Each structure stands twice: as C-alpha cells, then as structure tokens.
Amino acid sequence: MSLSIRPAAAGDTALVLQFIRELAEYERLLDRVVATEPVLHEALFGAVPRAEVLIAEVAGVAAGFALYFHNFSTFVGRAGLYLEDLFVRPEFRSHGVGKALLIELARTAVARNCGRFEWAVLDWNQPAIGFYRSLGAVAQDDWTVFRLEGAALTALARR
C-alpha cells in the first residue's frame, strides 16, 4: 500500500467538500452541511485562510482528510492545533490512514511549537474513541462544549 499525505491545494476544494459530506453522513448530520464550494474555497485558500487541510492518498486515490486550524491556550501561553474533522473512507479504514494523518498533524503541532493538539468526538463513536485512546489521547470528560449558532448567535450579537 502506497500511502501519502499532502496539503490540500485550491483545486481540491470539491474533494474537501465531498469528504465533509461523507463525514457528515457517517455522523448522521448530513442535513447540517450548508457549506458550498465557493464558501469553502474562500475559507481555505482565500486572502486570509481560516483552516488547513491534509489529504491522504492510497496509490493515488483520495482516502481521507484532516481539516485543522490554530486556537490559543491562555494557560499554556501558546497556540494549539485543533482538529475539526478527520475522516477516512470506509474502504481505507484499518490500513493506517487515520493514524498517518494524526501523526502528520502531531508533527505539524510540534514543528509550530503548539502547546496542545486537541479535537472533539461524538460520544457514540466508540471506534474513534478507542482509536484515539490507543494513540495516547486523553478524553477531557470534565469539560462541556457550548455552542451558539443561527438565531441564538444573532440574538446575542444584537444585545
């Protein structure tokens, strides 16, 4: 198996959006995907890129992706690397693709002097949770994620 990891290029926007849709379908959240190619292209490759993407290929075939960006830890006083999405197509699972993506992201975090590398996983996704634990990741069970979106976000912004 010839596995390679590369940064996404502007011409990969449609592929990245397809990966996002496949991930959303797996997570039973496809109805929430509203991203379009132009919006995604601007966010990833525009004047001020908001995130970065790695593409995993097996024998030249797109097998998975990781979308990530920097956050900041005030306690550590340094940037962190936040993995927003990791997805490996079913036919490529259990072949080291996800692990290779995470290793590359860990290398990026270390090279950029990040204090943390973190991500979230759905509570029901036991295969992913087990996989992450096998790599040494530790669940942050004492934290609860909050989110404002849609009407609630707009309402708060108008106060």
Q: Which residues are catalytic?
A: 132
- Residue whose structure tokens are 């934290």: 143
CB 98 within 8 A of CB 88: yes
CA distances from 31 to 35, 76, 102, 150 (A): 11, 37, 27, 15
- Report the sign of the C-alpha dihedral through residues 73, 29, 58, 41, in that order: negative
Q: Half-sphere exposure (CA, 13 Å, Cβ side) for 109?
A: 23
Pairing of strands 3-7, 52-58: antiparallel
